[in-house]
Amino acid sequence: MTTALAKHSVLELDKLRIRKNFWTIFGAKFRIFDMNEGLVATSKQKAFKLKEDVRVYSDEAMATELLTMSARQVVDFSASYDIVDAVTGEKVGAIRRRGMKSIFKDEWVILDVEDVAIGTIKEDSAGLAFLRRFLTNLIPQRFEISLDGEPIGTIRQFFNPFVYSAIVDLSADRERKIDRRLAVGAVVLLLAIEGRQS
Amino acid sequence: MPSPSKGIPVTCERCDCAFEAAASMRGGVAACPKCRSAVAVKGGFEPLFWALVGGGLTVVALAALGVASASGSVWAGIGTFAFGAAITGVIVSSS
Ligand SMILES: [Zn+2]
């Protein structure tokens, strides 16, 4: 099925719905919609790469790259991923998993281009995170995105046995303090990696 | 190889600006301070990765020995090792 690409760029929207394509054999694929179900971007995790490599495209055919995200190391317990604007070739930042804490509660650090921590993406509750890890992964995840200690957005996962979906809401960031390329890249990376691990 | 505490020297391909990337960016990309372009920071694979590759090749060699002794043919063992090592080489070079 082909969905017409919505006129809005994925980088201009405050709310996004992300759905994972279950029918991919190798490498995760996501489709990103606005809240009116208009397709605004697609994403694909490259298969057969030792260093993880995730791309965001502005079109359904995955011909025009918007963002490229790649891991710095193959084996990295506190994994760091660089996010690059594929149109301008600029690095926009990075995210790093906070290692040991992630066993109980997933926490990612948002880094600026100099690797200075500027924000976090944290799983909502340690209790629920513990139940997800050790009892059932049917409990949907919820993450809070903060910049300089101020909440600027959320990622809410929805459980459906057939479709993995999540809603990203950045409407709390009224002043657009976070570079939306960094925000979209970070969210897609997190969902690709968390989705693979669950 | 630069020590982990020191910056890693890199040169921007777009504007030729030479600068030092933070050691934490090894294997990733740094932002050029002049034109903001993403510049690859060399560093190669980490020691743990090479340890895993070594472990993989050991498993391939043991499998090749098993094939050679089961079939009674040295060439079957060499072929098995060459096949396993070639796959490992493709994976490493594509990353
Ligand atoms: Zn430059």
Element (H, E) at A92: strand A91-97
Q: Are A33 and A16 in contact (CB under 8 A)?
A: yes
Question: Greater confidence, B94 or B82?
Answer: B82
In degrees and rounded to multiples of 5, residue A195 shows phi and psi of -65, -35
Q: How far apart are CA A82 and CA A71, in angstroms?
A: 7
B12: CB partners within 8 A, 6+ apart? B18, B19, B32, B34, B35, B37, B39
Q: Are B38 and A84 in contact (CB under 8 A)?
A: yes
Q: Which amino acid would we find at residue B89?
A: G
* pLDDT score of A156: 93
pLDDT beyond 60 at B40: yes
Q: Cβ separation of A72 and B52 shorter than 8 Å?
A: no
Q: How many CB atoms lie within 10 A of CB A161?
A: 7
ipTM of the complex: 0.79
Q: How far apart are CA B23 and CA B3, in angstroms?
A: 8
pTM of this prediction? 0.79
Strand A39-45 to A29-33 pairing? antiparallel
- Say what the alpha-carbon torsion angle A57, A58, A64, A70 is, to the nearest 10 degrees: -30
* pLDDT score of B35: 95
Shortest Cα distance from A134 to chain B (angstroms)? 28
Q: How many CB atoms lie within 10 A of CB B50?
A: 14
Q: Which residue of B has its CA nearest to A90?
A: B37
pLDDT beyond 50 at B61: yes
Question: Greater confidence, B9 or B51?
Answer: B9
What residues of chain A lie within 8 A of the CB of B49, using their CB? 50, 73-75
**Max avg pLDDT among A109-118, B39-48, B53-62:** A109-118
Please give the DSSP secondary-structure letter assigned to residue A103: G
Domain ranges of chain A: 4-197
Q: What class does CATH assign to A4-197?
A: alpha beta
Q: How far apart are CA B58 and CA A41, in angstroms?
A: 44
**Preferred mutation among B8, B20, B37 to probe A, highest tally of A CBs within 10 A:** B37
Q: How far apart are CA B33 and CA B21, in angstroms?
A: 10
In Å, what is the CA distance from A103 to each residue of A81, A99, A123, A197, B1? 19, 8, 11, 12, 33
In degrees and rounded to multiples of 5, residue A106 shows phi and psi of -70, 135
What number is the average pLDDT over the span A169-186?
94
